[in-house]
Amino acid sequence: MTSLRALSKEKLTDLQSALWNEYRQEQAKGLHLNMSRGKPAPDQLDLSMDLLRLPDSCILEDGTDARNYGILQGIPECRKLFGNLLGIPADQIIMGGNASLNLMFDTMAFLFLFGTGGNRPWADYRTVGRTVRFLCPVPGYDRHFRICEKLGIEMIPVRLLEDGPDMNQVKELVKNDEQIKGIWCVPLHSNPQGVCYSDAVVEELASMETAADDFRIFWDNAYGIHHIYEEVPLKDILTACEKAGHPNRCYYFFSTSKITFPGAGVSLIAASPDNIKELLGHMSAQTISHDKLNQLRHVQFFGTPEKILIHMQKLADLLRPKFDIVLQKLEEGIGQDSSIASWSRPKGGYFISLNVSDGCAKRTVELAGQAGVTLTAAGASYPYGKDPDDSNIRIAPSYPSEEELAQAMDILILCIKIAYLEKLLG
Ligand code: PLP
């Protein structure tokens, strides 16, 4: 397609009315298509239905009855299964409840209430009129930002490059500001761009000098085994932190939300032995134990890490054609004209990140909504919901059927062009 910027004003106006005609025809169909949240489709969920027939025995390897209270840290066989999957010692893992976001919020709340390693609680900063600050690679996961907002943490956006956060920017910030207490990281197939952290970035995060003794990395490996096109390795952050002399720097989160059932899977937090001890101390006042039957159900369903990876291949086989549709439609509809839009080509995960022309994201999402296609709100992937360029749109291809997705993409591409022409023509 010729660059639209090369066309005369007259030609652009003609094109604009043709696109509006097309748009009205789409609108008249009264469609209801949703590409807003990264939810697994029913056929993905169907792959885990046998979980619901389990556990068939409730007695653990050591003879404990899993139906009863106890084992706050989580049943050993479940910690072993996920420890072997992720390369983490089982005693450095606590199994949580049905969602890792819960563990992230609680960990942050513990830091606010109690501090860590003898440092003062982060909430104390408020009493002297100061704030805790967190680095937020952008675009990023809206619910991480929501946790910060809720706790009054000031969010500092940092650039997310192709191999992770811009470490020059990160190192400069953390070296000089004691109020910067941590960073959010989604190290594999990040939401929404699909960024995978390089070994060098992991090393630097683990070893960098920080003004705050209690600086913490929130390592949310939500898409750690969610490879679709290509398997990507990830350097072991917990070991890297330990080797760099900062053993307590990292909290590592993982869940089976997008492996088995979102909201009914199992989650975990992994960390150094000291951090685990501290966390268990706080948790022991919070609950007697998490849902051990669900932990056991997952152990009996999967059995081995290898079987989890086979299950992931089946999920990837269902997701890949949907990612193909989105990428193909963008290629055909927009092509190389990066002034209209550019997009990520992820190797896995759940999202495709689309950048439309600056100032056009909100309008594109609005137009799509009025034609029956619901997208994530423009700006949602930025702290405080504010994309300074009004350019980023997150596409979540997993939930709609392939047919619905193709229809939704045609409409989205139409809307991208209409919004861009409105900008060009003023
Ligand atoms: N972390 C990231 C980066 C996500 O994208 C999501 C869900 O979209 C979650 C965490 C939610 O995980 P959970 O269901 O375990 O809370």
CATH number at residue 23: 3.90.1150.10
- 283 and 314: one domain? no
- Counting from 1 in the atom list of ligand 1, the atom nearest the Cα of 101 is 16
**Which whole number is the average pLDDT over 80-95?**
98
Atom of ligand 1 nearest to the CA of 351: 5
Same domain flag for 332 and 389: yes
**Does residue 205 form part of some domain?**
yes
Pocket test of ligand 1: the residue of 142, 257, 259, 261 to mutate, having most ligand atoms within 8 Å of its CB, is 257
Decide if 206 is inside a domain.
yes
Is residue 37 predicted with pLDDT exceeding 90?
A: no
Whether residue 210 sits in one domain with residue 354 = no
Coil vs helix vs strand at 318: helix
State how far the Cα of 115 lies from the Cα of 122, in Å rounded to an integer.
Answer: 6
Mean pLDDT of 331-356: 94
| Residue 100 Cα to ligand 1 middle (Å) | 7
Supply the angle between the helices 292-302 and 305-333 in degrees, to the nearest 10.
80
Per the structure, the count of domains in the chain is 2
Question: ipTM higher than 0.95?
Answer: yes
Establish if 44 belongs to a structural domain: no
> How far apart are the CA of 248 and the centre of ligand 1, in A?
23
Q: How far is the CA of 260 from the centre of ligand 1 (A)?
A: 13
294-304 core/surface letters (b: 16 or more CB in 10 A; e: else):
bbbbbbbbbee
CA–centroid distance, 99 to ligand 1, in Å, is 8
Q: What is the pLDDT of residue 2?
A: 60
What tokens appear for 400 in the block? Answer: 């709609």
Q: Whose CA is nearest to atom 2 of ligand 1?
A: 222
In the chain, the percentage of residues whose pLDDT exceeds 70 is: 100
Regarding whether 141 and 258 lie in a shared domain, the answer is yes
Question: Given a cut of 70, is residue 415 above it in pLDDT?
Answer: yes
**Which distant-in-sequence residues (6+ apart) come within 8 Å of 130 by Cβ?**
179
Name which of 398, 424, 281, 300 is nearest 346 in CA terms.
398
Same domain, 246 and 105: yes
Q: What pLDDT was estimated at residue 397?
A: 97
Contacts of 403 by beta carbon, 8 Å cutoff, 6+ apart: none
In a domain, 356, yes or no: yes
Whether residue 333 has pLDDT greater than 60: yes
Last residue of a domain, one of 304, 320, 346: 304
Nearest residue (CA) to ligand 1, atom 4: 222
Same domain, 367 and 270: no
Q: Tell me, yes or no, whether 113 and 176 share the same domain.
A: yes
Q: Whose CA is nearest to atom 6 of ligand 1?
A: 222
Residue 282 lies in a domain: yes
Which atom of ligand 1 is nearest to 190's Cα? 3
Ligand 1 centroid from CA 65, angstroms = 31
80 shares its domain with 143: yes
pLDDT in tens, 195-222: 999 999 999 999 999 999 999 999 999 9
Residues with CB under 6 A from ligand 1: 38, 99-101, 141, 186, 191, 220, 222, 255, 257, 262, 267
pLDDT reported for residue 76: 98
Q: Report if residue 107 sits inside a domain.
A: yes
Say which residue the tokens 């910067």 belong to: 180
**Rounded distance from Cα 222 to ligand 1 centre (Å):** 6
Q: Verify that 14 and 149 share a domain, yes or no.
A: no
Residue 275 placed within a domain: yes
Distance 40 CA to ligand 1 centre (A): 12
Same-domain status, 118 and 200: yes
Residue 339 clears pLDDT 70, i.e. is over it: yes
- Longest CA–CA span in the chain (Å) reads 80
Ligand 1 atom at shortest distance from the alpha carbon of 267: 15
Q: Which ligand 1 atom lies nearest to the CA of residue 255?
A: 15
The last residue of a domain, from among 278, 304, 330: 304
Which residue, by CA, sits nearest to atom 8 of ligand 1?
A: 38
Centre of ligand 1 from the C-alpha of residue 101, in Å: 6
pTM: 0.97
Do strands 352-356 and 341-343 pair parallel, antiparallel, or not at all (unpaired)? Answer: antiparallel
Q: How confident is the model at residue 19 (pLDDT cuts 50, 70, 90)?
A: very high
What is the number of alpha carbons within 13 Å of residue 215 lying toward its C-beta? 23
- Least confident range of 3-17, 103-117, 336-350, 398-412: 3-17
Structural domain contains residue 46: no
Locate the ligand 1 atom nearest the alpha carbon of residue 258 and give its number.
14
Q: How confident is the model at residue 295, as a pLDDT?
A: 98
Range of the domain at 157: 60-304
Contact 82, 298 (CB under 8 A): no
Expressed in angstroms and rounded, the spacing between residue 251 Cα and the centre of ligand 1 is 15
**Nearest residue by C-alpha to atom 5 in ligand 1:** 191
**Cα of 144 to ligand 1 centre, how many Å?**
9
Backbone angles phi and psi of 165, in degrees to 5? -60, 150
Nearest CA among 19, 20, 21, 8 for reference residue 425? 8
- Whether residue 1 is predicted with pLDDT greater than 80 in this model: the reply is no
> Percent of the chain scored above 90 by pLDDT?
95
∠ CA(130), CA(132), CA(134), 5° rounding? Answer: 145
- Residue whose CA is at the smallest distance from ligand 1 atom 10: 222
**What would the mean pLDDT of 259-275 be, rounded to a whole number?**
98
Q: Give the atom of ligand 1 at the shortest distance from the alpha carbon of 104.
A: 16
**What is the distance in A from the centroid of ligand 1 to the CA of 45?**
16
Ligand 1, atom 11: nearest CA belongs to which residue? 101
The mean pLDDT value for 286-302 works out to: 98
Ligand 1 pocket mutation pick from 147, 191, 254, 352 by most atoms within 8 angstroms of CB: 191
Question: Which domain-ending residue is among 304, 329, 360?
Answer: 304
- Do 9 and 90 lie in a common domain? no
Residues 400 and 361 in one domain: yes
Who's near 275: CB < 8 A, 6+ residues apart?
Answer: 116, 248, 251
